[in-house]
Amino acid sequence: MSDIYPIAVPKWGIEMVEGTINTWNKQEGDVIAKGDEVFEMESDKIINVWDSPVDGILRRVIADEGDAHPVGALLGVIAGADVDDAAIDAFIANFSGEAAEAPAEEPAAAPAPTSGGPNDAYTRSSPTVRKLADELGVDLNAVEGTGRRGRITEDDVRAAAGGDGGGDDFDVIPMTATRKTIARRLTQAKQDIPHYYLSVQWRLDGLLAHRAKLNESGGQKVSVNDLLVYCVGRALMAEPRVNINVSDDAVHQFKTANVSVAIATDDGLYPVTIRGVENLSPQDIASATAAAADRARSGSLTQDDLSGGSFTVSNLGMFGINQFTAIINPPMGAILALGAGTEQPVVENGELTTGTVMNATLSCDHRAIDGAVGSAFLQALKSEIDGL
């Protein structure tokens, strides 16, 4: 090839704003064939593999492993052997920052590195980590990686060398790459999004009775959360101004209810998207959520699982939490925080009785959702719950 091809951070999904290079699979000077896996990059809690769309030689590696770069940033250059260095230097100096196109097919999550082989430590570490291990006299083959998919981090090496400085009073637990991504995204969301909160109480007696009737028929068991997600999908169709993403000073109003359900794992909280909820039965939602939870806990989620959400539901009721507020997961415009249903005194037709009551708090992005709109959504959701 005689052309120069830029390797730039691709935009894998509307939510992606930056990516972190985990591993360069090719080194500067390596011959690259179209389809070769050139590097692995983490974005939005998923590790994707970038396949080269062209043949050539990796003439420049600009970005180091472990560094985060915004979408469109130049990472390296592929060119033919007939392209001189001056031309490549000029290309890099004048690079406009356009993102390389993502592959036509959804990128697959990078496979977990195999363990036990003679080069295992090499495949699970970056050049920077290997250099630090040499300096500290640490055998990488004896280090257990705490990074994504078992990768060895600099903190792992320092801990193995006894250099954490913590003494006997505490243990130093390095953040995984996923936890760092979560921390960065939520910090940015809290700083950039003007949150406001609407809190309500709903009676769940009708919903609980409906659930019991559904589960009597056998088959896929339906949880309280599955039924609430079912109601949310229909409420979003009734009040679509909450069924949105906010991106690039524009509001993207979805035509389907793509509800992100927060799933807790040891590696963090994953907002897994259940698409087209308004067209699903409670059993369909239960099945889709259970399958997504299995993928989350086994580390096999794909970019498609975590993208495309239009609204988030976070339920901590199963952990005994009565009420809480949640941080919006950008680019979505709102998130619903659900507490536990508890038996409480209630007044019904002027008489004091008991009922199962749940607290719910809607966090809204005030740039796109006004208080009246958020309130209208909660009213629509109440009607769906009461109508079961």
Residues catalogued as catalytic: 366, 370
Task: Quickly list DSSP for 41-87.
Answer: EEETTEEEEEEPSS-EEEEEE-SPTT-EEETT-EEEEEE-TTS-HHH
Angle between helix 224-238 and helix 371-386 axes, rounded to 10 deg: 130
Q: What sections of 217-314 are H helices per DSSP?
A: 224-238, 282-298, 303-306
Q: How far from chain centre, in Å, is Cα 64?
A: 23
**Which residues have CB under 8 Å from 71's CB, separation 6+?**
9, 10, 11, 16, 17, 18, 19, 99
The token pair at 25 is: 């699979």
Question: What is the C-alpha to C-alpha distance for residues 52 and 55, in angstroms, rounded to an integer?
Answer: 7
SS3 content of the chain, % helix, strand, coil (to 5): 30, 30, 40
How far is Cα 149 from Cα 297, in angstroms, rounded to an integer? 12
Q: Are 6 and 74 in contact (CB under 8 A)?
A: yes
Contact status, residue 269 vs residue 182, Cβ threshold 8 Å: yes
Tokens 């659900």 belong to which residue? 338
The neighbouring-strand residues paired with 356 are 343
DSSP assignment of 117-128: STTHHHHTS-HH
Q: Phi and psi (nearest 5°) for 11?
A: -105, 100
The CA-atom distances, in angstroms, between 183 and each of 151, 245, 353 are 19, 21, 44
